[in-house]
Chains A and B, each alone.
Chain A
């Protein structure tokens, strides 16, 4: 070894000895310490008690060849103090060298602790995100399921309401036709009155359900146009009168306009509001009267319905306009939809409702509706043009035998001999051979839409009048009927007095 090499080796040895602070034990059979070099206190060894170090080394030697030099780096000897331990066999005695790894171990511990804590936090974060996503997915799935249920309910209500209308047309129509024939028999007249009253109730219920279904769809826009206040009053009276008469109640319907112009509102909605209010008043009045007032001053329309009925207790007056709320009239009939629909419609029309009621005295509901020019839409959409009847021949096209027979009977009553056709293709052939003055056609013909047949008739050059009627009393169907070439649209169930009035007016020879 050169002198330089010797100097370097010496310096390196001194450096390493200072850094590693070795404790060198010479031991006999791993159990007896023969000599010690270094400071045992640096490794927590006090009073020459080397038992724990010898125990540790014996444990470290388990499973390894004690005849070979072995190194165990970064061994925790307690209290998170780290050492490196060397086993140096040297028969008959052996050596244990313990060196300080604290600088390395301390730094490593800190780094590892921080890294592991960060990783654990990330694991928790990921888990939380996964859980939140799962909750979100679950909520979305539940929301979708609820939407499906909601859609199904709407379709169900819609279908039921439509399906109610067709048989109600037959019931109301036949009842109206029977009336003059049974007028002399009080017993059958009472029965007929009950039929008419219940048909009116069902018809109102069907309208309300349809309104609910349409409102849920957001497809019930207001359609304002000028209308005759007198006509509205007459319509409501004619519908409710049988109910009132059946209960021996006095029904007074009064209208008044202080201006010359016609009011501009959605008259279908007004009719729905009034029918709900007045039928409710009749339903919950046992004796006395129901007064209906319609007032128009050019800016607003006031509807007032006053009854001498059972009244509404004050604790129910705040909730009476909530859906399905029948608390105020326990034990009485009714689905509990009417007043909630009235409230919806009044709010939609920008109006206000005021309720005054006393139990045992009666109830007054007043509605004030502002006329809003901005809400105006083309009135033509629901205009009912006059019929251009060119001859007195009338054809009825309907595949529902009850409704068809009822229409035929109705027209017989006013002197017509209408032809009844179930098959649209037969209709086209008949019209080609001899055009009638008027065709009354149902939209839903089963095999083919009445609207398509109407359009084809017009395309083939038929110029007579066509009345389309349908259970779907909505703007779309009305507009589709007009677009197809119909002259008038009537909703099911047919209002028979109104229908017959139409016929008499349009067919003067009747």
Chain B
């Protein structure tokens, strides 16, 4: 049996967290926006070069800040996936704020940043310069839940990182 690791997706509302999970776990996509209430938990086994790991993915309700419910949910997480809507610059600030708040709840855990909605790049507000700067401190992926671009790579990277820790 592969080892299991808990990762939580954090980000503002409507940035595409549930869509990214649907793409990663079930390889599906729906363009209908359905807000997440509470949490939805899925899992998927990820094969790394030297082992397999079961990623337990917690898809949390989108918030610009960490409320008490989400604080409960992230307890025990091995890694965080910060999700940003590339077309909304404000969602980048929200993600960074959530990251900062989560650090009070969790020990230093691996983090990956997903700048989502790559399929709408002509409407992106998040600049390439900002992404380049962020990439220096956190693995950053341009993703599209619609096309799947960058999704597998982002989850695999986080899976790799969370298994490197005891």
Taking Cβ atoms with an 8 Å cutoff, the residues of A that contact B are 55-56, 58-60, 62-64, 72-76, 80, 82, 101, 105, 108-109, 112-113, 116-117, 119-120, 123, 127
Chain A residues near B125 (CB-CB < 8 A): 127
Chain A residues near B41 (CB-CB < 8 A): 56, 59-60, 75-76
Chain A residues near B5 (CB-CB < 8 A): 62-63
Q: Are A116 and B37 in contact (CB under 8 A)?
A: no
Q: Are B4 and A64 in contact (CB under 8 A)?
A: no
Residue of A nearest to B18 (CB): A76
- When A59-B43, A120-B14, A123-B88 are in contact, do A64 and B75 touch as well, CB less than 8 Å? yes
- When A82-B37, A108-B37, A112-B37 are in contact, do A59 and B69 touch as well, CB less than 8 Å? no
**Extra A-B contacts (18), CB below 8 Å, given A59-B42, A62-B6:** A55-B43, A59-B4, A59-B41, A59-B56, A62-B5, A62-B76, A63-B6, A64-B75, A64-B76, A74-B38, A75-B38, A75-B40, A80-B34, A105-B37, A112-B35, A116-B33, A119-B14, A120-B33
Chain B residues near A109 (CB-CB < 8 A): 35, 37
Instruction: List 4 tightest A-B contacts by C-beta distance, closest first.
Output: A74-B38, A63-B76, A63-B6, A76-B40
- When A120-B14, A123-B88 are in contact, do A105 and B38 touch as well, CB less than 8 Å? yes
In the bound assembly, the distance between CA atoms of A278 and B73 in angstroms comes to 94
Residue of A nearest to B13 (CB): A116
Chain B residues near A116 (CB-CB < 8 A): 13-14, 33, 35, 62
B39 within 8 A of A: yes
Q: Are A75 and B39 in contact (CB under 8 A)?
A: yes
- Scan B104-148; emit 1 where CB is below 8 A from any A CB, else 0: 000000000000000000000100000000000000000000000
- When A62-B76, A63-B76 are in contact, do A73 and B38 touch as well, CB less than 8 Å? yes
B120 smallest CB distance to A (angstroms): 12
Interface size on B, residues (CB 8 A): 29
Interface residue SS majority, chain A: helix
Chain B residues near A120 (CB-CB < 8 A): 13-14, 33
Chain A residues near B73 (CB-CB < 8 A): 72
In the bound assembly, the distance between CA atoms of A268 and B30 in angstroms comes to 77
Instruction: List 5 interface pairs A-B (beta carbons < 8 Å), by A numbering.
Output: A63-B76, A74-B69, A105-B37, A109-B37, A116-B35
In chain B, residues 63-100, which have Cβ atoms closer than 8 Å to a Cβ of chain A?
69, 72-73, 75-78, 88, 90
Chain A residues near B6 (CB-CB < 8 A): 59, 62-63
Chain A residues near B101 (CB-CB < 8 A): none
In the bound assembly, the distance between CA atoms of A113 and B33 in angstroms comes to 9
Q: Are B39 and A74 in contact (CB under 8 A)?
A: yes
B154 within 8 A of A: no
Q: Which of B36, B69, B72, B75 contacts A76 (CB 8 A)?
A: B36
Q: Which of B43, B62, B69 contacts A73 (CB 8 A)?
A: B69
Residue of B nearest to A82 (CB): B38
Residue of A nearest to B5 (CB): A62
In the bound assembly, the distance between CA atoms of A117 and B62 in angstroms comes to 12
In the bound assembly, the distance between CA atoms of A73 and B75 in angstroms comes to 13
Q: Are B38 and A113 in contact (CB under 8 A)?
A: no
Q: Are B38 and A63 in contact (CB under 8 A)?
A: no
Chain A residues near B159 (CB-CB < 8 A): none
Q: Which of B13, B34, B40, B61 contacts A119 (CB 8 A)?
A: B13
- Scan B10-38; emit 1 where CB is below 8 A from any A CB, else 0: 00011000000000000000000111111
B4 smallest CB distance to A (angstroms): 5
B51 smallest CB distance to A (angstroms): 16
A368 smallest CB distance to B (angstroms): 60
In the bound assembly, the distance between CA atoms of A56 and B40 in angstroms comes to 10
Chain A residues near B69 (CB-CB < 8 A): 73-74
Chain A residues near B88 (CB-CB < 8 A): 123
* Most chain A CB inside 10 Å of its own CB: which residue of B35, B38, B39, B42: B38
In the bound assembly, the distance between CA atoms of A112 and B6 in angstroms comes to 26
Chain A residues near B61 (CB-CB < 8 A): 112
In the bound assembly, the distance between CA atoms of A113 and B41 in angstroms comes to 19
Q: Are A63 and B62 in contact (CB under 8 A)?
A: no
Residue of A nearest to B39 (CB): A75
Chain B residues near A82 (CB-CB < 8 A): 37-38
